[in-house]
């Protein structure tokens, strides 16, 4: 595997498992050193160990939408590794299922805080600490649920649509020194998404032209491309990673 990220340093949020850990692993394999963030210290410690330990990664536990946690993670990353060139905003929640018209507004606010505003805040922190002077690249993990109505997870979809738009606005504001892009996966086989396919995977996958659901590595490869110099003239884009399901009208 090429070492596109030799000498570069990344923060990947929500990275103790699933898509976030898959992205972090791909970056380490390509030469980056990575700070992982997540809520649970034990899971984070295991994730760091799986990436080869302190030589390659550190973990900073905390809530993704906590500004103080964000500042500490940024500070610790720069102090430990000497720079902060890459940011992947992967933290996301979907604590409710049902019609938006019945949704508790406090839950709606929390979804927007974690899924959209925290990505903006992380980008602000990283820009002030390093990227504003030195440049860098940001990738936000959005969702195909933000591209069209997603019954049952409508507020999640709305928050991801907001994140996609934040991506475009930041790309305009921060160029040319900082590129900002996003990916929009369909159903990826992670613990976060089990309710969407558990016990019915073959049935769900049948609606995908590729006839399978995604795995974290499918997302990680595209994220690595967008972060790398191979995508040096790409900014403000939301790349759909969906096995073709949106072509057939699915989400």
What are the tens digits of pLDDT across the range 87-130?
A: 999 999 999 999 999 999 999 999 999 999 999 999 999 999 99
208 is catalytic: no
Of residues 97, 156, 197, 208, which has the active-site annotation? 156
Query: Which residue is it, tokens 């922190």?
Result: 125
The answer to whether the beta carbons of residues 90 and 15 sit under 8 Å apart is yes
The answer to whether 231 and 176 are in contact (CB under 8 A) is no
| pTM for the full predicted model | 0.95
Q: Which fold has domain 9-185+214-240?
A: Rossmann fold (3.40.50)
Contact 121, 162 (CB under 8 A): no
CA–CA distance, 213 with 240 (Å, rounded to integer): 14
- In a 10 Å sphere around its CB, with 0-12 CB exposed, 13-18 middle and 19+ buried, how is residue 76 labelled? middle
Cα–Cα distance for residue pair 180/170, rounded to 1 Å: 6
Structure tokens at 39: 């809520």
> What are the extents of the domains in the chain?
9-185+214-240
Cα 136 to chain centroid distance, Å, stands at 16
One digit per residue, the tens of pLDDT, for the chain of length 251 reads 679 999 999 999 999 999 999 999 999 999 999 999 999 999 999 999 999 999 999 999 999 999 999 999 999 999 999 999 999 999 999 999 999 999 999 999 999 999 999 999 999 999 999 999 999 999 999 999 999 988 999 999 999 999 999 999 999 999 999 999 999 999 898 877 666 667 777 888 888 899 989 899 999 999 999 999 999 999 999 999 999 999 987 66
């Amino acid at each position: 595997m090429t070492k596109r990220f030799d000498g570069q340093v990344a923060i990947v949020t929500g990275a103790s498992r699933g898509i976030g850990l898959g992205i972090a692993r791909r970056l380490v394999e390509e030469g980056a050193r990575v700070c992982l963030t997540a809520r649970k210290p034990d899971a984070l410690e295991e994730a760091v160990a799986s990436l080869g330990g302190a030589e390659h990664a550190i973990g900073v536990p905390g809530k993704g939408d906590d500004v103080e946690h964000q500042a500490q993670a940024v500070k610790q990353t720069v102090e430990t590794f000497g720079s902060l060139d890459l940011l992947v905003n992967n933290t996301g929640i979907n604590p409710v299922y049902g019609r938006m018209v019945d949704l508790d507004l406090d839950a709606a606010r929390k979804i927007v805080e974690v899924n959209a505003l925290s990505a903006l805040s992380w980008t602000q922190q990283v820009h002030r600490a390093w990227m504003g002077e030195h440049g860098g690249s940001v990738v936000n993990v959005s969702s195909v649920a933000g591209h069209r109505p997603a019954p049952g997870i409508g507020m999640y979809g709305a928050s991801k649509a907001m994140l996609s738009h934040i991506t475009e606005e930041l790309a305009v504001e921060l160029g040319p020194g900082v590129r900002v892009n996003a990916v929009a996966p369909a159903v990826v086989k992670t613990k976060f998404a089990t309710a969407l396919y558990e016990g019915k995977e073959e049935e769900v996958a049948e609606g995908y032209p590729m006839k399978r659901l995604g795995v974290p590595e499918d997302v990680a490869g595209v994220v690595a491309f967008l972060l790398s110099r191979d995508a040096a003239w790409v900014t403000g884009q939301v790349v759909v990673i969906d096995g073709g399901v949106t072509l057939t009208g699915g989400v």
